[in-house]
Amino acid sequence: MKTVFSLTAAAMMALSGSVSAASAFSLSSADIPADFRLTQQHVFKGFGCSGENISPQLSWRNPPAGTKSYAITVFDPMRLPEAAGGTGRW
């Protein structure tokens, strides 16, 4: 009986570790490649930019408990000349 309890306890601890590792928050996109460069389809249209201004697809998994909304920001280091230091979008 002691052996069965030990094996059960060990299995429960192993499973609880894998559950917490598997439930980490993650954000992904089928539209944003690994180098994080947006295609013209997702570039802003205006202020001298000639993209199609289409929002990229985003998916998130396992949000923290109580999450009600998200804020996504993007920084453009290839800024317009008048925007010293880059430009941010959200």
Query: Whole-prediction pTM value?
Result: 0.53
**Can you give the pLDDT at residue 59?**
93
**Can you give the pLDDT at residue 74?**
75
**Can you give the pLDDT at residue 25?**
92
**Can you give the pLDDT at residue 86?**
53
Please state, as a whole number, how many other Cβ atoms lie within 10 Å of the Cβ of residue 38: 17
For residues 56 and 32, the answer to whether their CB atoms sit within 8 Å is yes
Rounded to whole angstroms, how far apart are CA atoms 59 and 26? 8
Nearest to 51 by CA among 28, 29, 71, 78: 78
Q: Which residues of the chain have pLDDT under 70?
A: 1-22, 76-90
Name every residue whose Cβ is closer than 8 Å to that of residue 63 and which is 6 or more positions away in sequence: 25, 70
Rounded to whole angstroms, how far apart are CA atoms 31 and 55? 9
